[in-house]
């Protein structure tokens, strides 16, 4: 083979290698950025240039191939590669003596240049990604708009749980802060990322959007609150769409912002609503909405039923679980016992947070419960439980990492199966990654319920308390019919204590309706008879239901850190001013039901009606 043939084959082989490497280079990138398209295009451009070289080198060039003429051929091949994209006609490559090879060669050059064009187009699209995202956002502004200030595991999980076709998921972003991984995840959710602040996005969507919901769930409470203030400053700026802002708080006392809420939220309508989200409380309430603590209660010799709760570990989530069961367990015919295993000495810290939650109270009209708090406990061992608390009816395990929780749960379950054959109790195990449980042996999972998954906790329904709130609002409308003294839900719950307290009451009512049904059985025995209405009236007139509703409120308010007001804090009329109540965290109704005035006693009536019972059953 002569020099000319060798040169053709070498250029052909090298061109193929560069062509495939350019494609391989791009495909192996998990997240493709602009510079990746540029480099891939460079490889294809180099392949095209090398493939043109032999034709130019041996196109009427003397055999001696003078240096200048070789250089001219090289530069001509380079220029030809440029010119092909400037509108010049494509000329077929000819290789005399090898007609088949000539066709392969021409086909290869064509493919290389088409690939190069595609890579360049990819770079242009990437380069224009910001404007394209802006255009995509503008085309969907008339939809329900959900805005997130950052792209993190929390906001992505919330966005993923939002259902419906007519929605626009918008992530506020400074381009330099948003990585390719986050961009791809947003695209997978059919969302958009727009450069600018949350308040700017609200302003742009405010005139056309059906509704705007904002989720301030950054990794910093201070950032959440700073963003909230920025939003509030822009709300009077011609925004017509209803706006609702959910702000995640953990350490910040929500009552610090009561005046802020009243100032910025419109009274009597829902054009602008701010809700502070206590994620762990939300998780616990939604969890207990689906998992009754009453179903396995033990029948005692005196006929009362005992709920025996076991909480293993003490952390923010377990604390919210403790607070919830303390007030929910105040129910006619039931007694509550709670054992907490804490690997630290946390009882004094708990007393500081909740001064009037004692180790035990046994007074109808005030509260009935027993709290067994075991400090410095070995959370990996169940010996203490086996000896002192083997007949628990409901357990919540959250001691650390997922597998540690599961190991404790399996040992606890084995002990209970040996004792009770696997019946009469429920064990909930907190796991942050539910998928790790999917392939486990089904027999070991039979008596365990896995809760607390990230997608469960940061879920749209959980964060917005949609099930509980929907029922709460419906009940409010029944209990406060429109008229001269009508108070809207927004006005009624325009401070965070009221809102959270009413959520707690609704959850309690959900339990009560089931227990009332079990006691009186109105649906099966008396429906359609004259006595049916007595079934509903009895909860309004029967003293135990009033008494225990006051006991539930007592315990709820104490778990919020309130204490009984000292007489020196009362004004001349013997009343406690609302300002003093909030600042000192005191309440003058934290007393025995029998010591309340008739007016205050009547406030504790359930006032159940057929409409309210139906609402509660549908939650």
What confidence tens digit (pLDDT) does each residue in 52-101 have?
Answer: 777 777 765 555 556 666 676 776 776 666 666 655 545 555 555 555 56
List alpha helices for 58-88, DSSP H.
Answer: 67-83
With beta carbons less than 8 A apart as the criterion, state whether 58 and 3 touch. Answer: no
CB atoms within 10 A of CB 90: 11
Strand pairing report for 360-363 and 367-374:
antiparallel
Confidence (pLDDT) at 28: 82
Please tell me if the domain spanning 129-277 has the same topology as the one spanning 285-457.
yes
DSSP 90: P
7 neighbors 58 (Cβ within 8 angstroms)? yes
| CA–CA dist 466, 119 (Å, integer) | 47
Q: What is the DSSP letter of 516?
A: H
| Helix/strand/coil percent split, the chain, to 5 | 55, 15, 30
DSSP 152-187: SHHHHHHHHH---SSEEEEEEE-GGGS-HHHHHHHH
User: Strand ranges (DSSP E) for 174-260?
Assistant: 192-195, 211-216, 243-248
Structure tokens belonging to residue 123: 């770079």
- Asked whether 336 and 330 are in contact (CB, 8 A), the reply is yes
Residue 439: strand, helix, or coil: coil
Cα pseudo-dihedral 439, 440, 446, 447, rounded to 10: -120
567: Cα separation from own chain's centroid: 44
pLDDT of residue 307: 96
Residue 587: beta bridge partners? Answer: 564
If you count them, how many residues does the chain have?
Answer: 619
Please list the residues that pair with 373 across neighbouring strands: 340
Sign, CA dihedral 20-23-26-29, equals: negative
For the 129-277 domain, the top CATH level (class) is alpha beta
Contact by Cβ (8 Å): 393, 297: yes
DSSP letters for 330-399: --TTEEEEEEEE-SS--HHHHHHHSTT--SEEEETTTEEEEEEEE-S--TT--HHHHHH-TT-SEEEE-S
Token pair for residue 155? Answer: 């906001």
pLDDT at 345: 94
Identify whether the C-beta of residue 334 lies closer than 8 Å to the C-beta of residue 306: yes
Task: Provide the pLDDT for residue 297.
Answer: 92
The reported pLDDT for the residue numbered 533 is: 47
Report the pLDDT value the prediction gives residue 60, as an integer from 0 to 100.
58
Q: What pLDDT, on a 0 to 100 scale, did the predictor assign at position 41?
A: 82
User: Radius of gyration (Cα) for the chain, nearest Å?
Assistant: 35
**What's the start-to-end Cα distance of the chain, in Å?**
85
Which of helix, strand or coil describes residue 63? coil
Within 10 angstroms of residue 161's Cβ, the number of other Cβ atoms is 15
The residues that bridge with 277 in the sheet, in sequence order, are 248
Tokens of 277: 């989200």
Provide the residue ranges of all domains of the chain, joining segments of one domain with +.
3-127, 129-277, 285-457, 465-618
The number of angstroms, rounded, from the C-alpha of 575 to the middle of its chain's C-alpha atoms is 42
Region of 421 on the Ramachandran plot (φ > 0 left; ψ -120 to 50 alpha; else beta): left
Name which of 219, 197, 8, 240 is nearest 104 in CA terms: 8
Burial 314-343 (b: 16+ CB within 10 A, else e): bbebbbbbbbbbbbbbbbbebbbbbbbbbb
Helix axis angle, 316-328 to 543-559, nearest 10°: 160
pLDDT digits (tens, 9 = 90+) for 373-384: 999 999 988 999
**Contact yes or no for 379/396 (Cβ under 8 A):** no
Grouped pLDDT means (10 residues each) for the chain, 619 residues: 77 87 82 75 83 73 59 69 59 54 72 79 67 64 85 94 86 75 85 85 82 93 90 76 91 81 65 90 94 91 92 96 97 94 95 96 95 94 92 95 92 88 88 81 81 92 92 87 79 83 91 72 54 55 79 96 89 81 89 88 73 82
Give the distance from CA 81 to its chain's centroid.
53
Superfamily holding 285-457:
NAD(P)-binding Rossmann-like Domain (3.40.50.720)
To which residue do tokens 């749960």 refer? 409
Cα distance between residue 128 and residue 122, in whole Å: 10
Contacts of 16 (CB under 8 A, 6+ apart): 47, 108
| Cβ atoms within 10 Å, residue 13 | 11
Q: What are phi and psi of 393, to 5 degrees?
A: -110, -20
């Amino acid at each position: 083979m002569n020099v000319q043939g060798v040169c053709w084959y070498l250029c052909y082989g090298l061109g193929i290698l560069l062509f495939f490497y350019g494609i391989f280079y791009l495909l192996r990138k998990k997240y493709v950025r602009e510079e990746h398209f540029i480099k891939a295009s460079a490889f294809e451009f180099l392949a095209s240039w090398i493939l043109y070289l032999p034709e130019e080198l041996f196109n009427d060039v003397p055999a001696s191939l003078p240096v200048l003429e070789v250089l001219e051929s090289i530069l001509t091949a380079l220029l030809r590669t440029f010119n092909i994209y400037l509108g010049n006609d494509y000329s077929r490559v000819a290789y005399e003596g090898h007609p088949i090879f000539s066709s392969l060669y021409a086909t290869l050059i064509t493919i290389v240049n088409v690939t190069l064009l595609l890579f360049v187009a990819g770079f242009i699209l990437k380069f224009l990604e910001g404007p394209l995202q802006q255009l995509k956002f503008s085309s969907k502004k008339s939809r329900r708009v959900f805005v997130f200030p950052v792209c993190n595991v929390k906001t992505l999980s919330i966005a993923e749980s939002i259902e419906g076709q007519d929605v626009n998921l918008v992530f506020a972003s400074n381009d330099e802060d948003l990585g390719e991984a986050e961009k791809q995840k947003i695209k997978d959710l059919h969302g958009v990322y727009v450069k600018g602040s949350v308040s700017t996005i609200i302003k742009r969507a405010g005139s056309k959007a059906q509704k705007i919901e904002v989720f301030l769930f950054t990794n910093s409470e201070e950032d959440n609150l700073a963003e909230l203030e920025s939003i509030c400053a822009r709300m009077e700026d011609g925004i017509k769409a209803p706006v609702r802002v959910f702000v995640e708080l953990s350490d910040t006392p929500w009552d610090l912002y009561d005046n802020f809420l009243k100032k910025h939220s419109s009274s009597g309508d829902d054009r602008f609503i701010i809700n502070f989200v206590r994620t762990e409380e939300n998780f616990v309430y939604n969890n207990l909405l689906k998992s009754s603590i009453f179903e396995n209660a033990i029948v005692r010799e005196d006929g009362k039923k005992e709920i025996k709760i076991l909480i293993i570990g003490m952390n923010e989530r377990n604390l919210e679980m403790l607070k919830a069961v303390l007030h929910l367990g105040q129910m006619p015919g039931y007694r509550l016992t709670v054992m907490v295993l804490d690997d630290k000495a946390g009882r004094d810290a708990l007393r500081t947070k909740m001064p009037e939650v004692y180790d035990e109270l046994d007074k109808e009209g005030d509260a009935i419960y027993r709290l067994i708090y075991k400090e410095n406990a070995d959370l990996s061992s169940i010996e203490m439980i086996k000896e002192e608390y083997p007949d628990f009816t409901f357990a919540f395990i959250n001691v650390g990492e997922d597998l540690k929780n599961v190991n404790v749960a399996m040992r606890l379950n084995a002990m209970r199966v040996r004792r009770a054959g696997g019946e009469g109790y429920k064990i909930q195990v907190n796991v942050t990654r539910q998928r790790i449980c999917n392939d486990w042996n089904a027999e070991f999972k039979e008596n365990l319920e896995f809760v607390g998954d990230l997608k469960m906790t940061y879920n749209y329904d959980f964060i917005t308390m949609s099930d509980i709130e929907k029922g709460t609002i419906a009940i409010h409308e029944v209990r406060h019919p429109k008229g001269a003294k009508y108070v809207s839900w927004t006005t009624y719950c325009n401070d965070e204590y009221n809102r959270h307290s009413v959520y707690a009451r609704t959850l309690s009512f959900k339990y009560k309706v089931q227990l009332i049904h079990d006691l009186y059985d109105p649906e099966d025995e008396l429906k359609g008879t004259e006595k049916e209405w007595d079934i509903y009236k009895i909860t309004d007139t029967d003293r135990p239901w009033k008494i225990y509703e006051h006991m539930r409120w007592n315990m709820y308010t104490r778990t919020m850190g309130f204490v009984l007001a000292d007489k020196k804090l009362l004004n001349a009329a013997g009343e406690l001013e609302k300002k003093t109540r909030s600042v000192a965290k005191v309440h003058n109704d934290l007393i025995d039901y029998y010591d309340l005035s008739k007016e205050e006693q009547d406030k504790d009536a359930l006032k159940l009606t057929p409409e309210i019972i139906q609402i509660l059953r549908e939650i």
